[in-house]
Amino acid sequence: MTPSTFSPALPGPSLRTGGPRGRQALESWVRDMRVLAQPDRIVWIDGSEAERQRITDEMVRAGSLIPLDPELRPGSHLARSDPDDVARVEDRTFICAEREADAGPTNNWRDPAAMREELGARFAGAMRGRTMYVVPFSMGPLGGAISQLGVQVTDSPYVVLSTRIMTRMGAAALAAIGPDTEWVPAAHTVGMPLVADDGAALPDVPWPSNAVKIIAHFPETREIWSYGSGYGGNALLAKKCFALRIASVMAREEGWLAEHMLLLRLTSPAGRTHHIAAAFPSACGKTNFAMLTPSRPGWKVETIGDDIAWLRPGEDGRLWAINPEAGFFGVAPGTGETTNPTAMATMRSNTIFTNVALTPEGDVWWEGRTPEPPAELTDWRGLPWTPASGRPAAHPNARFTSPADQCPTISSDWDTLDGVPIDAIVFGGRRASNVPLVSEAADWTDGVFMGATIASEQTAAAEGPVGELRFDPFAMLPFCGYDMADHWAHWLEIGGRLGRHAPRVFRVNWFRKDDEGRYVWPGFGDNIRVLDWIVRRLEHEVGAAVSPIGLLPRRHDLDLAGLDLSDAAVRTMLTLDPRGWRSEARRIEQHFGRFDGNLPAPLARRLRKLQHDLADYA
Ligand code: GTP
Ligand code: SPV
Ligand code: MN
């Protein structure tokens, strides 16, 4: 049997798209999954507290969750993953569109029929001896205008408990599936059955997974199939697989956007309120930005989302955004009382920590949590650790999973049905050189150009070479479910529809380094100084210098009071280095060259203008 439960898309120019609809389709899919994966039992998840308690107790007994000290970390647990299952696996993530061209040059494409066959073989018997949980969930508040329903089947109780935090999971989501309601099917197995083909029992481990991993998406039929991993975006299928890869395809067809963006509401000392959406690549500071504690008086930041935004043009012509998630799956290392006290408060309780270190008192620790490490710890792999060990105590991609409503700065309307109207869009990345602290796009096309040309030094959020510079357009390189160049065209089209209501667009870089490799900009709470300039730009209260790469603040435009910054450092952050940018423009030309024939003409023109303007810029 192959996992082709739904009518396959028709080949040819008018592909049939859309997922399954209704309860009957759900029940027959669950039956098919049972026949295929052969679990011992099926549990329909209702989302109740009793259910959470029961699954938690089972996991603690199995050694898969370690309870933390009830005083220090109430209701919280530590999970240690398999050391080979610690981050997203981009080279094992596939877009199985009917036509290869629809996946575009930046995605791994697989023929859908061939992938169905492979998945059918892998999933066959994969859940033997385990429980298959059926997990209904809503992305976005139930009943919201662009909320979407999904159902994940999984043999991982860790995924169930995490999805309970990250989404609106359970009976209400199931009840929302009416006779004709579309829902996204997401099939997941860790790929480690407890019964061999010959019937012999196989041993279980605290973190089951498989050396072979496959994260597959079928955009036309809105299906997700994930095999072999229990970690993060590989396994919490509601998150990247659904809310970004599949949702981006839906959004393109239906005229909205699914983006890798945080959302925040900012109130200025004058009492004016603005909403900001910001795209940064993985582990580049979205959570910290969304929870920013302003270092300047009078400012207030309220958190709406830290990772994913769904945005749509509203009836008033403006761009409205929701956070489709209900929790944070945040990077632990680098998060501490000085850098992000709001995140620290959010994870005070009811949190699942994964791959952090354990203190002798039963609390958690990671690099950056306190200035000095404790004298002894148990590291993320369960081994004794001291500061002399010479290796990180926490995995660099260790994460906390906490409910959004535990965040002390959560906005009172973070879960309103319609979302919030966006005033400014910010693009960022990790750039040791070239990209200035902040610049503003001249217009929407220039803003799309900024988004399309984000480059960033790679982080531990994905398997791969950490520190290597790569283009990560719109911070969506690993998350766009269709051709990236079509994504840019879609952005240009949305801008056309928004017209004069379009948000203004900015680019920031907190990660500029000096010759000794130290960060030039203090970052974190001081990023409010950049938001201050952005808000004054929105309010037409401050000027800017025109440059080939956008509008730049002049030194006196920025509030730098009280910062210990040398003149050279300020100049580095605020001025354009023509030589650096001429080579940047060459890299952009190569980057655009990958999309041959499909690059939107306005972006090609924008690049030529950049090259022309830089040619005689001294
Ligand atoms: P994903 O969840 O992977 O999509 O990442 P994210 O963008 O939400 O990343 P997060 O905010 O968790 O930041 C990850 C790392 O960036 C942490 O180690 C932070 O310490 C660091 N970071 C965040 N903001 C700043 C900043 O302003 N300056 C510097 N130097 N580092 C920062
Ligand atoms: C990211 O890598 O951008 C994340 C973490 O937000 S994961 O959910 O694992 O993709
Ligand atoms: Mn992310």
What's the pLDDT score for residue 3? 44
Ligand 1 centre distance from Cα of residue 307 (Å): 11
185 lines ligand 2 (CB under 6 A): no
Q: Which of 14-23, 339-348, 532-541, 549-558 has the lowest mean pLDDT?
A: 14-23
325 lines ligand 1 (CB under 6 A): no
Q: Work out the number of other CB atoms within 10 angstroms of the CB of residue 206.
A: 16
pLDDT band at residue 176 under the 50/70/90 scheme: very high
Secondary element (H or E) of residue 139: strand 131-139
pLDDT band at residue 6 under the 50/70/90 scheme: very low
Residue with tokens 């489709």: 324
Ligand 2 centre distance from Cα of residue 319 (Å): 25
Single out the residue of 136, 176, 125, 155 nearest to residue 48, CA to CA. 136
Ligand 1 centre distance from Cα of residue 476 (Å): 16
This model's pTM is above 0.85? yes
Q: Mean pLDDT for the chain? A: 96
What's the pLDDT score for residue 16? 67
Q: Exposed/middle/buried for 26, CB within 10 Å: 0-12, 13-18, 19+?
A: buried
What's the pLDDT score for residue 73? 98
pLDDT band at residue 15 under the 50/70/90 scheme: low
- How far apart, in whole angstroms, are the C-alpha atoms of residue 584 and residue 598? 21
Token pair belonging to 175? 């009840």
In this structure, the dihedral spanned by the alpha carbons of residues 313, 255, 477 and 402, taken in order and rounded to 10 degrees, is: 60
383-409 per-position pLDDT tens digit? 999 999 999 999 999 999 999 999 999
22-65+83-254 — its CATH code?
3.40.449.10
Domain edges within the chain: 22-65+83-254, 258-327+412-615, 328-396
What's the pLDDT score for residue 368? 98
Ligand 2 centre distance from Cα of residue 572 (Å): 31
243 lines ligand 2 (CB under 6 A): no
| Correct CATH for 328-396 of 2.60.40.730, 3.40.50.150, 2.170.8.10, 2.60.40.2140 | 2.170.8.10
Q: Annotated catalytic, 241?
A: no
What's the pLDDT score for residue 618? 76
258-327+412-615 with 328-396: one CATH topology? no
366 lines ligand 1 (CB under 6 A): no
What's the pLDDT score for residue 97? 98
Total residue count of the chain as it appears in this document: 618
CATH architecture of 258-327+412-615: Alpha-Beta Complex (3.90)
Residue type at 357?
A
369 lines ligand 1 (CB under 6 A): no
Token pair belonging to 294? 């302003």
Q: Is the pLDDT of residue 150 over 70?
A: yes
Question: Whose Cα sits closest to atom 4 in ligand 2?
Answer: 282
Residue with tokens 């019964």: 195
Ligand 1 centre distance from Cα of residue 308 (Å): 15
- Mean predicted confidence (pLDDT) in 190-201: 96
127-140 per-position pLDDT tens digit? 999 999 999 999 99
Task: Write down the catalytic residue from 96, 241, 284, 407.
Answer: 284
Beta-carbon contacts of 547 under 8 Å, excluding residues fewer than 6 positions away, are 439, 576, 617
pLDDT band at residue 617 under the 50/70/90 scheme: confident
215-246 per-position pLDDT tens digit? 999 999 999 999 999 999 999 999 999 999 99
Distance of CA 399 to the CA centre of its chain: 13
Single out the residue of 413, 420, 379, 408 nearest to residue 396, CA to CA. 379
Probe residue for ligand 2, chosen from 88, 159, 245, 355 as the CB with the greatest number of ligand atoms within 8 Å: 88
What's the pLDDT score for residue 286? 98
233 lines ligand 2 (CB under 6 A): yes
- How far apart, in whole angstroms, are the C-alpha atoms of residue 242 and residue 478? 13
330 lines ligand 2 (CB under 6 A): no
Compute and round to an integer the Cα radius of gyration of the chain: 24
Question: Whose Cα sits closest to atom 3 in ligand 2?
Answer: 282
Question: Whose Cα sits closest to atom 26 in ligand 1?
Answer: 523
- Mean predicted confidence (pLDDT) in 283-304: 97
- How far apart, in whole angstroms, are the C-alpha atoms of residue 544 and residue 78? 49
- How far apart, in whole angstroms, are the C-alpha atoms of residue 399 and residue 346? 13
Q: Is the pLDDT of residue 212 over 90?
A: yes
